[in-house]
Structures are given as C-alpha cells and as structure tokens.
Amino acid sequence: MRGVASGCVMAWHDGLSEKQRRFVEAFAANGGNATRAAMAAGYAHPHVKGSQTLEKVSVREAIEALRLATTNPAIATREQRQVFWSRVVRGEETYFDPKLGREVPYPIEARLRASELLGKSQGDFVHRREVAGRGGGALKIVQVPPKEAAQRVEELREAIVGQ
C-alpha cells in the first residue's frame, strides 16, 4: 500500500501503467537491476528506459511500497541484526543461566563471535586473492575487438562441449 487518498487505501501499483507495474515487480524480483527490469517489462531500449523509469517519483514510491508490503516482520533487518550483535558484544544482551538462576551476559566466546559477525556485516574484513598467470607470472591483459572476443568464446564453448 502506497498511501491514503480520499480515505481509501491505495495499492502499491495504483497510478502506474501496466508496463511500469511489471517494471516495479521485476525490479524487486531481480535485486534492483533497472536494465533487467526494463527487459522483463517489455521496454524496447531497456538500458535507457530502465534508468528513465527509475527517475519517475511514482515508480520509486511504488518500489518502496512493494518492498515494505513484502517485508516479513518476523525476519530481522540488517540494522536489527547489527544492533543485536552490538548489544551482545557490549554485554548488554543477556540469557537465563539455569545454574545461577538469573540473567547473565553472553560468554566471551559468543561476544567474540558477535563481534566477528558485526564486522563481516559492515565489510571490515578484506579478503585478498592473488591471481597469477602461467607459471606464477603476471597476467597479460589485452583489448580484443568484440567480434574477435565472440569468436574466441565460441571456440572455447565448442572445445568444452566437444570433450
């Protein structure tokens, strides 16, 4: 539902054309890719129409309304998880310890794990991968014209399928 007009509740797609409605649904379904959404909606020039369609206020409002309408309140949001992990790390989150008969902060192992999960969720850890060419040497990067690239891809496909 997008809003209230004249005392009536409006559906998220009210005021959109059929193509815009399909665009919004496809945009939500494919993780927010405007070009793919425009293709799915049937636009002639999806790359251009995708960004143009996103510029429309009614479409952006419909995307947000659809997101809110399909969000399951039982599933924690990213922010809710981060708040929980932060509370665990600081010792503010507790659990009932039957041996002590009272609420106690989580043990250090759980607090360290919460710290790790919080850091991962915020991109604090960088995983580096080293890629090398043949024999551990440098990779050779070359510009290949599109037709030649397509031909090479087809040759590789045939070589793989022909095995």
Number of domains in the chain: 2
Single-letter residue type at 86: S
pLDDT in tens, 143-160: 889 899 999 999 998 889
Instruction: Answer yes or no: do 62 and 38 share one domain.
Output: yes
pLDDT for the residue 4: 43
Q: Are residues 49 and 18 in the same domain?
A: yes
Looking at the structure, do residues 86 and 115 belong to the same domain, yes or no? yes
List the beta strands (DSSP E) in the chain.
4-5, 8-9, 94-97, 102-105
pLDDT at 2 over 60: no
Highest mean pLDDT among 14-28, 31-45, 93-107, 127-141: 93-107
Q: Are residues 84 and 108 in the same domain?
A: yes
What pLDDT is attached to residue 36?
93
Report the distance separating Cα 103 and Cα 111, nearest Å: 16
Closest CA to 36 of 44, 28, 27, 45: 27
The CATH number of whichever domain residue 12 belongs to comes to 1.10.10.1400
For 24-55, how does the pLDDT look when each residue is reduced to its tens digit (9 = 90+)?
999 988 888 999 999 999 999 998 999 999 99
| Whether residue 83 sits in one domain with residue 64 | no
* Range of the structural domain that residue 11 is part of: 4-70
How does DSSP assign the chain, residue by residue?
---EETTEEPPTTTT--HHHHHHHHHHHHTTS-HHHHHHHHT-SSHHHHHHHHHT-HHHHHHHHHHHHHH--TTSPPHHHHHHHHHHHHTT--EEEETTTTEEEEPPHHHHHHHHHHHHHHTT----------GGG-PPP-----HHHHHHHHHHHHHHHHT-
Reply yes or no on whether the pLDDT at 6 is more than 50: no
d(CA 119, CA 26): 32
Confirm whether pTM is higher than 0.85: no
Based on the fold, state whether residues 57 and 24 are members of the same structural domain. Answer: yes
